[in-house]
């Protein structure tokens, strides 16, 4: 696990980010007022059920929201002192890959099947680095070796379908780190990997982070990965961050009912149960959100106030905040 320097200014600061989509049913508030900070060398885990807004948040950071139907309607995304939402598309294209990079969960959708691995790694380097052609190929081989691709000199001529799932994910990682970004976003990067390869890939990411000092945002459903990889955790529900804190605080002292429910749904080896715990009910429709707390209909502690007004963030401990009226 990396250790962030909390005395430094954040390398990434997101404030009141809102990303909406126009649909036939109405306006979908996929990301609705998200704020967080990320410091150099820190790993932030973002967790929540499918549809909670995790991936849309990350696409918003990369300015990759499809327009239409989506649009970033409000907020600031400050990376290395520069607001990404104020950049033109040509300016933003220079930032993607060089300062902030993304690893998505299915490498076959991000690797082009008709180009070799070498073509795709060198393209990322050529776009962002003004170096001679021979040096580009040497740099590509260097990053492939860095992500532990065996026999990189021959593999660089292979096509994606000739590699295993684990190898393809390593290639996507190589492209992500090829220009030494300040922030690397990993969106469910281990979903398609078996347990052994998953452990190797997580170790690889951790080693690369320690070597380069880059910051990492980890989007996942797996609390085991969060415990192993992350310094802090942000819990998302219905487009909002409902709780944020250190890994220790979130695991040992969860203060939002949704966080408690997520942790309770993780199977435990020492428990002998007939039926695994599941959170009752369904998340709200994002085009028809309730006036108050979005979790109210599923919450065992619901009060009248919860249905009338959305709660602000209340401090629980230093660096630990939760949006729940129980803390008022």
Q: Give CA–CA dist 60/82, Å, rounded.
A: 15
Structure tokens that stand for 35 in this block: 């704020």
Q: What secondary structure does DSSP assign to 164-176, as a single string?
A: -HHHHHHHHHHHH
Q: Which residues pair with 32 in a beta bridge?
A: 18
Prediction pTM value: 0.89
Q: Give CA–CA dist 193/106, Å, rounded.
A: 10
| Ramachandran bin of 188, using left for φ above 0, alpha for ψ from -120 to 50, beta for the remaining angles | left
Find where tokens 């959170």 sit: 279
CATH fold of 12-89+222-327: Rossmann fold (3.40.50)
Domain residue ranges of the chain, discontinuous segments joined by +: 12-89+222-327
| Contact predicate 5/41, CB 8 Å | yes
> How far from the centroid of its chain's Cα atoms is residue 135's Cα?
32
Q: Give CA–CA dist 214/257, Å, rounded.
A: 33
pLDDT in tens, 187-219: 888 776 777 777 888 888 888 898 889 999 999
pLDDT in tens, 143-188: 898 888 889 999 999 999 999 888 888 898 888 888 889 999 998 8
Percent of the chain with pLDDT over 70: 96
Distance set, CA 32 to CA 4, 16, 87, 162 (Å): 27, 8, 22, 41
The dihedral of CA 262, 267, 271, 276: what is its sign? positive
The dihedral of CA 5, 10, 16, 18: what is its sign? negative
pLDDT band per the 50, 70, 90 thresholds, residue 268: confident
């Amino acid at each position: 696990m990396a250790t962030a320097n909390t005395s430094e200014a954040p390398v990434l600061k997101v404030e009141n980010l809102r990303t909406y989509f126009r649909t036939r049913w109405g306006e979908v508030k996929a990301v609705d007022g998200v704020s967080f900070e990320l410091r150099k060398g820190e790993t932030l885990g973002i967790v929540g059920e499918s549809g909670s807004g995790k991936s849309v948040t990350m696409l918003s950071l990369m300015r990759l929201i499809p327009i239409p139907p989506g649009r970033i309607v409000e907020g600031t995304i400050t990376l290395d002192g520069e607001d990404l939402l104020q950049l033109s598309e040509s300016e933003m294209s220079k930032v993607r890959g060089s300062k902030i990079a993304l690893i998505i969960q299915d490498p076959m959708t991000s690797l082009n099947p008709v180009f070799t691995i070498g073509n795709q790694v060198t393209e990322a380097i050529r776009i962002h680095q003004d170096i001679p052609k021979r040096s580009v190929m040497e740099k590509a081989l260097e990053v492939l070796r860095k992500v532990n691709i065996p026999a990189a000199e021959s593999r660089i001529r292979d096509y994606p379908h000739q590699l295993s799932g684990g190898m393809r994910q390593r290639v996507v990682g190589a492209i992500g780190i090829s220009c030494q970004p300040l922030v690397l976003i990993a969106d469910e990067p281990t979903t398609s990997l078996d347990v052994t390869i998953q452990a190797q890939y997580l170790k690889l990411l951790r080693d690369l982070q320690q070597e380069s000092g880059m910051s990492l945002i980890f989007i996942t459903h797996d609390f085991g990965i969060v415990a192993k990889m992350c310094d802090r955790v942000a819990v998302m529900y219905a487009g909002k961050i409902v709780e944020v804190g250190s890994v220790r605080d979130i695991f040992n002292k969860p203060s939002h009912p949704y966080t408690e429910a997520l942790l309770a749904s993780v199977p435990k080896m020492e428990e002998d149960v007939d039926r695994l715990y599941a959170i009752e009910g369904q998340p709200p429709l994002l085009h028809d959100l309730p006036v108050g707390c979005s979790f109210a209909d599923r919450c065992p502690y619901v009060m009248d106030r919860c249905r009338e007004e959305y709660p602000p963030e209340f401090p629980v401990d230093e660096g630990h905040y939760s949006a729940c009226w129980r803390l008022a």
